[in-house]
Structure 1
Amino acid sequence: MDELESLNGADEKLWLFGKEDIENSPSREKNIQSSTERRIIASCARFILEVGAALEVPQLTRCAAIKLMQRFYLMESMSRHSPPAVASACLFVACKVQECVKRLRDVIYWSIKIKTRSEQFPRGEDLLEESSRFQAEKKLVLLKERDVLRVLNFDYDVDLPFKYIIQLVKLYGTSAEQQKDLIQYAWNFVNDSLLTSIHMEYKEMDIATAALHLAMLYSNHELKKVPETGKPWYTHYSIDPKTMVEICNRMLEHYDVEV
């Protein structure tokens, strides 16, 4: 099955959270400041991307792991669950679900290697499978895997914006060069947005539409109108224009600009 199509988001609406839920997350209730929580979430997302890249995990699987991690921390506090271990566990689970299974020892190896790259281990003791550090990390990741499965109630359905971006560009794009540019710009905006809580708050098809709107602004490309109705292309998924602008501005927060 094509990887894009295998990311089934039929029950995605069950995992959308309101702003109040996010502002009163379990970590916030344990007196972890919002800025600290956001920084840790972003750090965990980067960690998943980096470990996944080292393991040659497909991009979409890495993104799915990030969403599982974000869901987990809207149900459980960071004070109870080590973020790096949860991140590694979510990547391990996502690999199983997306049928790109990686050996646990390889996940542990690269997790330790990336976490400790600033430390000095001239003989590589930390990376030997029989070492106490390796075994302790393995035990912790397996424990967090069970926690992730329990907290998420074995629901691994994850939707992502990428397939919607491709569909919109193919439907309303013009030249092949324009389509390539728009997809690249939109994917870049989506990748950056995975460091935030946007994907916990909005439907992925709405995020895709917003990312493509930004892609048009920054690439100076235009998409065609809907042939049957003459309406703008962004009406394809019936998104409220205000919601689209809201998502765009959320995406651009890191760049300190607005649309």
Structure 2
Amino acid sequence: MYLKMPGWYYDKKELRNSPSAQDGIDFKTEMRYRKEGARLIIDTGSRMDLGYNTMATGVVYYHRFYMFHSFKQFPRYVTACCCLFLAGKVEETPKKCKDIIKTARNLLTDHKFATFGEDPKEEVMTLERILLQTIKFDLQVEHPYQYLLKYAKCLKGDKVKLQKMVQMAWTFVNDSLCTTLALQWEPEIIAVALMYLAGKLSKFEVVDWIGRTAKHLRWWDMFVEDVTMDLLEDICHQVLDLYSHTDSANTPDSPPLQPNKSIQQLPPNAQRTSNGQEKAVSP
């Protein structure tokens, strides 16, 4: 089995025994709270034109935070803004705390925003210290995006179909942020699984790839070893479950953050604007 790095990865039993679960919040509700916080980070970040890496880093902080604290103790929308605020500084796309709160305010109902209390900025700034201690000042986070682009460049086949598959996989990576996959598996494995899913759905079958040798049965064997089909299927189903709900509250509804060039033109870490900020727009 693929060896997990220590520290930030949990099995499903551990995920179901979270501080929120111990605090009496059922698993389905906790998953909804995680999704709603992740969505606020993504929607707020999108409105503020933050790079996808910044938003993804903020979401990972958010998921990690709630492996140590209960949703009953720390309101999810306050935590979401705090995570985006910190991620902006770490990913060198800083935004003022008050601007993040103002943007989030426009996305939340009065009832939801009430959880920020009398002084929203003070709430977020105070929480930042707790967040830093909780994530043990482990600030650098890798995401599946870079691996998705790296792996795709090795695949041979119809360029148009390949591009379609990559765009679809990119969207799946975005939406996977609303799940706990980032707490379960390394970004390389998530990238492989969601490229596999996108390949199936877009009918892009990988038959050859750069660097292929006799020992490689599948293209991803070059990058991650001993990944079973059962594992890939499990990851795919966790993402597909996001789309299985018909009510709008549970349907991913943000615009996809997709690369706006052909895969062959994208450098390893996507594009950067003149101020160093990553840029990701729909094609």
The alpha carbon displacement at 1:31 in A equals 0.3
User: 2: CA distance between counterparts of 1:89 and 1:224?
Assistant: 45
Partner of 1:234: 220
Partner of 1:208: 191
Q: 1:196 to 1:162 in 2, by over 3 A?
A: same
Partner of 2:163: 180
Partner of 1:18: 11
User: 1: CA distance between counterparts of 2:176 and 2:132?
Assistant: 25
Q: Of 120, 141, 144, which residue of structure 2 is paired with 1:137?
A: 120
Partner of 1:54: 47
Identity in percent: 27
Partner of 1:35: 28
Q: Runs of 4 or more off by more than 4 Å in structure 1?
A: none
User: 2: CA distance between counterparts of 1:35 and 1:24?
Assistant: 13
- Assess if the C-alpha contact under 8 Å between 2:176 and 2:239 holds in 1: yes
- Assess if the C-alpha contact under 8 Å between 2:8 and 2:64 holds in 1: yes
Q: Which moved more, 1:134-143 or 1:222-231?
A: 222-231
The alpha carbon displacement at 1:178 in A equals 2.6
Partner of 2:108: 115
Q: Which moved more, 1:171-180 or 1:18-27?
A: 171-180
The alpha carbon displacement at 1:14 in A equals 1.8
Partner of 2:140: 157
Count of matched residue positions in the alignment of Structure 1 and Structure 2 = 235
User: 2: CA distance between counterparts of 1:240 and 1:13?
Assistant: 20
CA deviations 1:150-169 (Å, max 9, x no partner) are: 11111112121111111111
User: 1: CA distance between counterparts of 2:239 and 2:117?
Assistant: 38
Alignment pair present for 1:252 and 2:240: yes
The alpha carbon displacement at 1:117 in A equals 7.0
User: 2: CA distance between counterparts of 1:70 and 1:158?
Assistant: 12
- Assess if the C-alpha contact under 8 Å between 1:13 and 1:203 holds in 2: no
User: Which AA in structure 2 matches 1:14?
Assistant: G
User: 2: CA distance between counterparts of 1:46 and 1:37?
Assistant: 14
Choose between structure 1 and 2: higher helix proportion: 1
SS of aligned partner of 1:250: helix
User: 1: CA distance between counterparts of 2:125 and 2:33?
Assistant: 21
User: 2: CA distance between counterparts of 1:189 and 1:146?
Assistant: 32
Gaps of 5+ in 2: 246-283
TM-score (norm 2): 0.77
Matches within 5 A, 1:92-131: 92-116=85-109
Q: Please report the RMSD computed on the Cα atoms of aligned residues, expressed in angstroms.
A: 2.3
Gaps of 5+ in 1: 1-10, 120-125, 127-132
User: 1: CA distance between counterparts of 2:11 and 2:104?
Assistant: 32
TM-score (norm 1): 0.84
User: 2: CA distance between counterparts of 1:70 and 1:173?
Assistant: 36
SS of aligned partner of 1:172: coil
